[in-house]
Amino acid sequence: MKNLVDVHFPNARNISALLKSNDKCCRIQNMKCPKCNSTQTRKNGRRRGQQCFQCRICGRQFVESPKSQPYSPQIKELCLKMYLNGMG
Ligand SMILES: [Zn+2]
């Protein structure tokens, strides 16, 4: 079985670089309001492990869409587990 980290993060030399790049990615990316399409949103706590956001323009509250994320938390977690098991 091919290494998941290699498959999904060919440029990641180690897990800390991987996590760092993901954090950076999350910071740059502003969530878009599904109602008014504004990117003037702010974080609004967490629900069931999902990051919640609130639009500054219209006040709409929403959770992040998994599809908009470059990599799912499941894959990230799996990579982390494999790394910790000495497989990554
Ligand atoms: Zn809005």
* Averaged pLDDT, 22-42: 76
Q: How far is the CA of 49 from the centre of ligand 1 (A)?
A: 22
Domain boundaries, the chain: 4-84
Dist. CA 87–CA 70, nearest whole Å = 23
CB atoms within 10 A of CB 48: 6
Residue-level pLDDT at 27? 47
What is the number of helices (H) and of strands (E) in the chain? Answer: 3, 3
More confident position, 88 or 42: 42
| Ligand 1 center to 21 CA (angstroms) | 28
Ligand 1 center to 38 CA (angstroms): 5
